[in-house]
Structure 1
Amino acid sequence: MHRMSAIPNLELQMTLLLFFALAGYLLASKINQSAVVGEILLGLIVGPSVLGLITYTEFVQAIAGLGAVILMFVIGFEFELKDLTNIRYGIIGLIGIIVPWLGGYFVSLAFGYDPGSALFIGTALTATSIAITANVLKEMCLLDTDVAKAIIGTAVIDDILSLLALSVTADVASGNFTPEGFIFIIVKQVGFLILIALVGILFISKLIRKMDDTPIAKKYPEFVFIFAVMTAFLFAALSEFIGISAIIGAFIAGVSFNGINLEHSRDLAEGAEYLYIIFASVFFVSLGILVDLKALTVPVMIFISVITVIAILTKVIGCGIPAKLLGYSGRDSLAIGFGMSPRGEVAMIVALLGLNLSLIGQEVYASIVVMSLLTTIVTPIVFRNWLFKKEVAECMLK
């Protein structure tokens, strides 16, 4: 009886989430902004901050997590492995980690936070939410451009480096840091990514092509698509197990399947697109639901305002200047800097870890979460209304 009574509740939550996602699209249309902005703002309105119609339950968290994984799986179809191995991306990503970390750390100290809290705030500023920026670029028909490939390639490296920074921060704060342990983490994570990329491209992609010619695939065209999605979630699960964000594994799976043409089966990219439409929408709404502005005091709001400006400037400077020096145009360099600015769910993960380890308090946790939300909203606004205004108008006509 208990199990049956819980089912309508889950169904109602899903209904509300999708209803709010639709309302987010309407809001975005009214204010002429990205659907991402509309959905996040709508989540903010219906969440604890304003109306309190829905809270960030375990169910919402689970569905949002699926959304982020599926989103990056879909984005991966637009990239080849060579797009991620450009040495310039590594240089931009490394400097784009160091500058925000220093900025966040010293600003936090200036506001009176203890070194442990400042360490976590600095680490939160190193993060980049690939899912946010990738979706904005996709929405504006820019994913196949050189600047988009630079942003995504750098963001993948940035995400790995920020997670390494998180591991170091947690160890330093708890007194367990050793150089040997740090080197081991780097070798383990980089080696793992290379391994699953090779497995995906050299083995699984060929297996999918062979499966397409089998009787079972000819009888059930969806068979191969289910296998591909299963692989994406497997890569995501293995990535999380090894200490890398699950969305990186899903992205590598999408990259592995790029260019696969199937004769008898459902198109992989098209099928994944439908999953993305549903679950990614919930993901963006959930980012707004996660925030509770009522819990913030005036001093905290001032700190959030300052740290948000620092978060954006340090990415624009830390990534934009190296990009310019490495040959990108002024506009593309700014786009790379702003494209790396959304902290999204990655910074929230950093904050949650610090809170769970009792290394930061609720005040710092709330500050990081709101900063993440604000940086997430700024990028699509800058892209649509300034850097890529012409391209957006052309995309709308297609």
Structure 2
Amino acid sequence: MNIGELPSIELQMSLLLFVALGGYLLASRINQSAVVGEILIGLIVGPSFLNLITYTDFVQSIAALGAVILMFVIGFEFNIKELSNIKFGIIGFSGVIIPWICGYFIAVLFGFDFISALFIGTALTATSIAITANVLREMCLLDTEVAKAIIGAAVIDDVLSLLALSITADVASGSFSYTGIALSIVKQVGFLLIAGFIGIVFISKWIEKIDKTRLAMKNPEFVFIFVMMIAFLFATLSEYVGISAIIGAFIAGVSFNGVNLKHSHDIEAGADFLYIIFGSIFFVSLGILVDIHVMTQEAVVFLVVLTIAAVITKLIGCSIPAKIMGYSGRDSLAIGFGMSPRGEVAMIVALMGLTMGLIGQGVYAAIVLMSLITTILTPILFRNWLFKKEVIACDLENK
């Protein structure tokens, strides 16, 4: 890198941070998920409108770092005990399989080849734990049974979605074979189990011991820095064994959830600050990548069909099993709609498909917009229909 390039990179970084954090503040101001405001800002400053920032290699690198930190923070939403509830497992499993199959066949109907269709199907599988939990918290519903069902199923849903993403990426990078899929599953599950076991049983206990040392008492930031170092080590190891770095970061977050600290700075709070910065850059970059000028009439039709399918498949895959297992009609619908926000995982899938040349700009834009629409739809339905009375009571309580 020569000196002449530095001002350009510094300008890109400064402007990117400015618009990313501005998007976060905008979302807070209009009472929406931060994801919404950040992607909207990315759309405005990107090729779709002002064309102030383009998706360069530099932006891609910073955004990739944001994705790793994002998945680390999401890992803190994961409680390993929630996997023990068989109801959540059934809802989560059904909520992945049905959208994956439906998304695949929709893509095939629109003329996509096998690998591209597989990526599009994978984009429909995930539920955003962070977005769903945030919506429930804002409405004072986190302690309800339906909230526990939504979050518990979403946890399992996301783990299975990450598994689906890993399988899809492996299939895309080589020749398709059932043996390859089996090896991918074994590799993925093996890494999840080994890394999770080491993180929960050994490293988390080690962190608590470090917290009691004089070094940690004198430097309360020491434990947080150590944890982030381990998180990036997990991300590195996952890439080394052929799995996406975001999965390693996710497992690190899961491992350190529940660590009890007495003298050190709170890990999750520190990670949240990193997420606000680098996660914001990631979501803004997703908006920058979208160029609405490439949205042909066929792409718009694909967007409409994909969005409808995204909601209906979660309703079928999650609401029906919930109803069969004894939840009320309203709670079953709430579980289905609560599982509908695709959020960050779908966008990561779309980004991976675009960078690998498996989908075009039009399809990428359709998947990002689908994720955005489903993210906005859930709080609207919860606030104005399913939990209207509860929301009113919550608003009065918070005044």
* TM-score category of the 2 structures, normalised to the smaller one: 0.7 to 0.9
Q: Tell me the amino acid that sits aligned with residue 106 of structure 2.
A: V
- The one-character-per-residue Cα deviations of 1:20-72 (angstroms, maximum 9, x if unpaired) are 24433554356443333222222222221111122233333333333343344
Letter in 1 for 2:375: T
Measure how far apart 1:183 and its partner are.
Answer: 2.3
Query: Structure 1: how far apart are the matches of 2:321 and 2:149?
Result: 12
Alpha-carbon distance in structure 2 between the residues aligned to 1:236 and 1:142: 33
Correspondence for 2:394: 394
Equivalent AA in structure 1 for residue 46 of structure 2: G
CA contact (8 A) 1:189 1:243 kept: no
The alpha-carbon deviation at position 226 of structure 1 amounts to 0.6
Task: Give the letter for the 1:394 counterpart.
Answer: C
**1:123·1:165 contact (CA, 8 Å) conserved in 2?**
yes
1:56-205 matches, cutoff 5 A: 56-113=55-112, 117-134=116-133, 136-137=135-136, 146-166=145-165, 176-205=175-204
Q: Which residue of 1 aligns with 2:51?
A: 52
**Structure 2: gaps spanning 5 or more residues:** none
1:199 Cα shift? 1.2
| Structure 1 CA distance for aligned equivalents of residues 308 and 368 of structure 2 | 14
SS at 1:249 equivalent: helix
Q: Which residue of 2 aligns with 1:13?
A: 12
Deviations 1:336-366 (A, max 9, x none): 3233333344334444555566554554444
Report the equivalent of 2:281: 282
Q: Structure 1 residue 203: deviation in Å?
A: 0.7
User: Does structure 1 conserve the Cα–Cα contact (< 8 Å) formed by 2:166 and 2:188?
Assistant: no
Classify 1:215/1:223 alpha carbon distance in 2 versus 1 (closer, same or farther; 3 Å).
same
The gaps in structure 1 that reach 5 residues or longer are: none
Give secondary structure in 1 for the equivalent of 2:337. Answer: helix
Q: Is the CA contact 2:166–2:244 (under 8 Å) kept in the aligned structure 1?
A: no
Which moves more between the two structures, 92-101 or 342-351?
342-351
Compared with structure 1, are the counterparts of its residues 88 and 63 closer, same or farther at alpha carbon in structure 2 (3 Å cutoff)?
A: farther
Residue type of the alignment partner of 1:313: I
Aligned counterpart, 2:317: 318
8 A Cα contact 2:70 2:279, kept in partner: yes
Residues 369-378 or 350-359, more deviating: 350-359
Report if aligned partners of 1:71, 1:135 keep a CA contact under 8 Å in 2: no
Per the alignment, do residues 361 and 55 of structure 1 end up closer, same or farther by CA in structure 2, a change over 3 Å counting? closer
Paired residue total: 397
Q: Deviations over 1:154-173 (max 9, x none)?
A: 33433443454456556777
1:174–1:41: structure 2 CA closer, same or farther, 3 Å change rule? closer
What is the one-letter code of the residue matched to 2:366? Answer: S
CA drift of 1:113 comes to: 4.7
- Quote the sequence identity (%): 70
Question: Deviation of residue 144 (structure 1)?
Answer: 5.9
Amino acid in structure 2 at the alignment position of 1:65: A
Aligned residues: CA RMSD: 3.4
**Residue of structure 1 in register with 2:302 after alignment:** 303
1:172-223: CA deviation from partner (whole Å, max 9, x where unpaired): 7788333333222222212221222221221111111221232322332211
Cα deviations across residues 78-101 of structure 1 (Å, max 9, x unaligned)?
A: 543202343333322222222223
Other-structure match for 1:36: 35
Q: 1:352 to 1:40 in 2, by over 3 A?
A: closer
Please give the secondary structure, in 1, of the residue aligned with 2:124.
helix
Structure 2: how far apart are the matches of 1:4 and 1:97? Answer: 49
Q: What do residues 258-284 of structure 1 show as CA deviations (whole Å, max 9, x unaligned)?
A: 333333322223322322332233333
Partner AA of 1:66 in structure 2: L
Deviation at 1:11, TM superposition (A): 3.7
CA distance in 1, matches of 2:359, 2:221: 47
| Native 8 Å contact 1:34 1:380 kept in 2 | no
3-state SS of 1:56 partner: coil
In structure 2, distance between residues paired with 1:239 and 1:373: 29
- Distance in 2 between residues matched to 1:169 and 1:262, nearest whole Å: 39
Query: 1:237 Cα deviation (Å)?
Result: 3.1
- Distance of 1:147 and 1:369 partners within structure 2: 28
Q: State the TM-score, normalized to the length of structure 2.
A: 0.83
Farther off after superposition, 349-358 or 323-332:
349-358
Contact 2:99-2:121 within 8 A present in 1 as well: yes
Matched residue SS, 1:254:
helix
